[in-house]
Structure 1
């Protein structure tokens, strides 16, 4: 295109370089264009293919038959067509530029959408492939999960997943149901208790009778919900072809009309073809194809720096439009980790530090979350001079599922167990500590030394310190927060009170959360769901927008449109602000792209714009779109939000400290007083 760079036989080198692009590089456009024509449909691929074919075909004619292949031929860069000089001009830059820009845009979109289906793969990984079945006479054999039948009895060893939904026949253990049901921590099960496939066995050996297999299991139903919801989202992707169904025939009609008009008016054939080719080249949707991907690339890059991963342009569009946010509790609003919130010693008992050390020492023999929390709390509170005894120092250790642990340390018998039903036998202030724990939905365990009650430990999940401010920011953005959790009503209400959330849905299983999302959408709300577990995957996929915590499961992340890598709930508000800014940038890009076509197509039609200048204008339009999009790389959250992340507001800190000191309801209400079954 630059006359000063045109050496001898330059045109043939350009032809050799352009031919692979026009034939092989643009082949996907040609194939899809032919397929569309066979079905009587016109898409953007049709326009791209015609633009490449027209510019490359005319250049080929010019080289071989039009005199442009002569050695020493030079071609000036002119603003207007110059077809009367007897030499046909080359437009190879258009044949290369058109597919280059469009393919670059689609490449960006493809990278942004990478990982679609990860949710289904993650769900499939939860299902076991083989199962140990107990036959007659006590024999045991391994069979494929597909061969398991209702009524068969199978074994679940510690660390294994439950193969399918069933009922415990013998044995007792703690099952981690957080991925399936939303329970905060492992739940104790025994003979007669129902279990669900995909749960992880944290304790002893279980024998389970299969009650449902294959597609009837709860995990299979969740998988179907995710699959159906993700399939429904693809309908929004048809909008571009719907626009193209009108735009492409209009451009083709203009090009044919221009060619016929100039030929009918007695113009030179090269001038007529040049005008028609210019219309096709200038109408190629390069800027239109780059408008969304470049803004998305810049926004997703900036979002990644801020800990926000966005899956694609449709996700940004939905993120900007949401008006309702459904929040999960465990692992989302709370840390999902059990911790000791209170240690209440007997008024006239042993040294409290000694009691805590003995309790943590005996708990070293247990794998239960209560044990891990007690040991961690002792490590934080005790100095180096009061280190724990090694686990081997505990003699006669026993762990009773659903009750507690017992052991002998240095001649002292130490137990960490659930409190008795009759609290009047406990010395003050231990009864009040147990009642306070029960009223707030926390777990209370009693520490005894030589059969003498010495202390009560109160344990529970803790609210994220930035939870209140994050929910408040959502309200300021005009969003309606809704709490949906698998935990009990008392727990959910306590969390809602602390976060000033008025709409609460407790004891919500996966299908309940999905049904809630459907109901809200039917009421006209545009719903986003924030979650972290497999139990949230169906709701995440069914919502207008799914937001997964980066610390959550692969299934939740795969089903979500946005993933928050940053362990900061305020990233949700930042994501909404970034989406609104990105969509504003995309609208400007689209306005420029359509405006460019609106101005240049008429100029090309009347012969005032040759294909070379049309290609240059197309390139300039694309560069402007890219430049406008790259401004998103410097986007910053609001000053208030940045300050809040650097230093929590005093009111938030005071509120969090008050919550911690009052034993706020941050965990599941126990099924029995002080049991370890829930947290």
Structure 2
């Protein structure tokens, strides 16, 4: 029924006039030469909607069949390209009929086989454990011998297939480790399972009083519960960033030199290619706008709630949504190096990284297995020599083996790391290295860069004095650099200068240098651009010189980030001393530092001076967190104990930083420290829980007071306790989008390189 369909709303990946190549890319090729395409139709609500969608799509040329599934609100269309000059306009037809529709790409529909395998194995083990425990209640309550034997046989019939089906996860892992000449935590688990099962079968066949089928299956069930939770947490931790990758189109429309357009897979698009981003499309690759204007929804990438206007010269990153306007974009990064691909790699590194605690846990777990095997063997020998009863000795040895399985220890660190990485990414913070989380929790000093970090770096020229004959030279120098100071000067000069220079170079921390007609021109720091004793800069640190003589100077205004003061206050509340290191003039740095509440600052620093300051702090046993964004900050970011940079930082800044935060909200810094400290606390609690558990239960088990069933329950509960405690990492207080920010503050400064 058409009345049930809502007016079409432009969806992230929908195209009112979809590309033939994109439709083919998102479709599955069938053996009979037809194509199968799946569409999401979220506004289909009833049988009338279903009939209408099938009818209007079935009437399109080339469509063989169209079937709607109302439960999933998806329509599967089978079509044949040979029957039409172009692909059928599936999305446009549905949009015109009032149904919102999106393409579904095939790779995203594939289920996770490991997750399914774990869930099925857990379900089988749980079913067997539940039924065997019901039978065990009667046995342990004192059933007569005939009933007890019958229940043992039924328990064996339930346990055997469950052990071989669900336990194969541990058996295969243990066998692989042993074949490689090493052990892992699945080795003692497998030995314990096999010995307990073998002893139970022996007791059943010999009409023994006790059989431990309940212990075997319960052990497997709880171990699988812990392993499934671990897998689910890792999957959940990646879901946010993988959701971003699903927004990326299957390819891009590349504009050729002759004006022709060709749809290519993202892997085949090269840096320097020009692509077209139409309204309603996601930006497929990082790039620079060459032509066109429009508004972009950057919420998925930067967390900004308001649309961001773009124009020629604006920088785009993959994942942004073009709301209006057609944009021609020059690609600046390949698909493998795009923003979204980098985020995926960061999440994987965060999960797989080896921090000191985790390396310690891995080493302990590696030595743990042979120690426990030796202990169980010693317990068996001791009890056998003392009592002469091999059955009792073996039962106690099995209990020791089960109760001391190192599952809790093995989960203690990785579960915290995964949970913390997920929590950080929920707040737009990505770890490039798993050890960064531990190092972040250790910091006792925070170092900030100023321009571009605590301020927007969107400088405005407030005063300019240039000898008129050299104005074109200044614009030629400034237009060749991407530094905030140079951009501000170039923007103030209007159209970019087309003046040619004989040579040009950019010296980080100093300025720009060019030559023309035998003269040397410099734009940058006064102490670099001017010859010693040949002139005064008038208090302006950014000057223009000709052959070392002053020929102009500049003053600027910068906009303080609205979150700067709040971030500084929160870091101070966390007990962290804060220091500001800047290359700017003393007057501007001191005024800015006092305004936002930073007591310690240093001005007029070159990149090497920042590194020297960080080294001096390290020599005095201080562990520093460096927060910076620019080309000048790369060495300092690398030299710090741990470092952070915004996602829009210069490439060298992002590469050197250990942690990247999306957008420009500085509240990400105290938020990351809070989460890292909470993760460290959970790690210590988990290690204490794991070690304390073993110190408590091992003597009791060795004394013969723990049956295999109690051992299985105790060991499983310790593992589940560790998992549950890991999930208790709290969210840092506050939301980066919920706070009402104060108006930006214009900060006067004499900016420098």
**TM-score, length-scaled by structure 2:** 0.49
Q: Report what 2:607 is aligned to.
A: 509
Segment of structure 1 superposing worse, 524-533 or 85-94 = 85-94
Q: Report what 2:672 is aligned to.
A: 575
Give 1:368 deviation, angstroms.
6.0
Q: Is the 8 A contact 1:51 1:98 kept in 2?
A: no
Distance 1:567 1:58 in 2: 58
**Pair 1:604–1:515, CA change in 2 (3 A):** same
2:326 equivalent to 1:326 = no
Q: Is the 8 A contact 1:485 1:505 kept in 2?
A: yes
Which whole-Å deviations, capped at 9, do the CAs of 1:259-314 have from their partners, x for residues lacking one?
12321233643332222122122112222222333233232222222222245664
Q: Report what 2:276 is aligned to.
A: none
Q: Report what 1:609 is aligned to.
A: 706
2:743 equivalent to 1:664 = no
Q: Is the 8 A contact 1:22 1:96 kept in 2?
A: no
Q: Is the 8 A contact 1:29 1:46 kept in 2?
A: yes
SS of 1:91's partner is: helix
Q: How many residues are matched?
A: 457
Give 1:644 deviation, angstroms.
11
Q: Report what 1:56 is aligned to.
A: 194
Distance 1:506 1:542 in 2: 19
Distance 1:530 1:24 in 2: 46
SS of 1:547's partner is: strand
Match of 1:522 among 619, 624, 630: 619
**Pair 1:479–1:87, CA change in 2 (3 A):** closer
Q: Report what 1:272 is aligned to.
A: 393
Distance 1:502 1:87 in 2: 67
Q: Report what 2:130 is aligned to.
A: 2
Q: Report what 1:635 is aligned to.
A: 731
SS of 1:576's partner is: helix
Q: Report what 2:715 is aligned to.
A: 618
**Pair 1:484–1:288, CA change in 2 (3 A):** same
Q: Report what 1:551 is aligned to.
A: 648
**Pair 1:86–1:11, CA change in 2 (3 A):** closer
Distance 2:644 2:422 in 1: 17
Listed as ranges, the matches of 1:291-302 within 5 Å are 291-302=412-423
Q: Is the 8 A contact 2:645 2:654 kept in 1?
A: yes
Match of 2:171 among 23, 40, 46: 23
Match of 1:439 among 525, 530, 539: 539
Q: Report what 1:282 is aligned to.
A: 403
Which whole-Å deviations, capped at 9, do the CAs of 1:549-588 have from their partners, x for residues lacking one?
2222455445433322241222211221222223223333
Q: Is the 8 A contact 1:106 1:293 kept in 2?
A: no
Give 1:24 deviation, angstroms.
2.0
Distance 1:403 1:314 in 2: 41
SS of 1:483's partner is: strand
Q: Is the 8 A contact 1:290 1:626 kept in 2?
A: yes
Q: Is the 8 A contact 1:488 1:507 kept in 2?
A: no
Match of 1:91 among 209, 213, 216: 216
SS of 2:460's partner is: strand
Distance 1:496 1:27 in 2: 62
Distance 2:228 2:174 in 1: 9
Q: Is the 8 A contact 2:226 2:723 kept in 1?
A: no
Q: Is the 8 A contact 1:474 1:573 kept in 2?
A: yes
Which whole-Å deviations, capped at 9, do the CAs of 1:98-138 have from their partners, x for residues lacking one?
5885797699799999xxxxxxxxxxxxxxxxxxxxxxxxx
Segment of structure 1 superposing worse, 300-309 or 469-478 = 469-478
Q: Report what 2:382 is aligned to.
A: 261
Listed as ranges, the matches of 1:367-378 within 5 Å are 373=488
Q: Is the 8 A contact 2:399 2:706 kept in 1?
A: yes
Distance 2:389 2:395 in 1: 10
Distance 1:332 1:96 in 2: 51
Q: Report what 1:352 is aligned to.
A: none
Match of 1:591 among 652, 675, 688: 688
SS of 1:265's partner is: helix
SS of 1:520's partner is: helix
Q: Is the 8 A contact 1:275 1:604 kept in 2?
A: yes
Aligned CA-pair RMSD = 5.2
Distance 1:101 1:27 in 2: 21
Distance 1:543 1:371 in 2: 28
Give 1:523 deviation, angstroms.
0.9
**TM-score, length-scaled by structure 1:** 0.54
Unpaired runs of 5+ in structure 1?
36-44, 74-81, 114-158, 160-231, 346-357, 379-387, 405-416, 422-434, 446-454, 669-678
Q: Is the 8 A contact 1:323 1:480 kept in 2?
A: yes
Q: Report what 1:193 is aligned to.
A: none
**Pair 1:255–1:490, CA change in 2 (3 A):** same
Q: Is the 8 A contact 2:187 2:369 kept in 1?
A: no
**Pair 1:292–1:264, CA change in 2 (3 A):** same
Give 1:20 deviation, angstroms.
3.2
SS of 2:575's partner is: coil
Give 1:456 deviation, angstroms.
10
Distance 1:8 1:52 in 2: 18
Distance 2:230 2:406 in 1: 11
Which whole-Å deviations, capped at 9, do the CAs of 1:306-357 have from their partners, x for residues lacking one?
22224566433332221112223343233344x3242689xxxxxxxxxxxx
2:739 equivalent to 1:646 = yes
Give 1:544 deviation, angstroms.
2.5
Which whole-Å deviations, capped at 9, do the CAs of 1:36-69 have from their partners, x for residues lacking one?
xxxxxxxxx5554233223224435755xx266x
Distance 1:541 1:103 in 2: 38
Q: Report what 2:83 is aligned to.
A: none
Give 1:377 deviation, angstroms.
6.9
Q: Report what 1:76 is aligned to.
A: none
Match of 1:309 among 423, 426, 430: 430
SS of 1:646's partner is: coil
SS of 2:376's partner is: helix
Match of 1:474 among 544, 568, 571: 571
SS of 1:546's partner is: strand
Q: Is the 8 A contact 1:547 1:560 kept in 2?
A: yes
Q: Report what 2:462 is aligned to.
A: 342
Q: Is the 8 A contact 2:412 2:723 kept in 1?
A: yes
Listed as ranges, the matches of 1:365-444 within 5 Å are 373=488, 439-442=539-542
Q: Is the 8 A contact 2:416 2:682 kept in 1?
A: yes
**Bigger relative contact order, structure 1 or 2 (CA pairs below 8 A, ≥6 apart):** 1
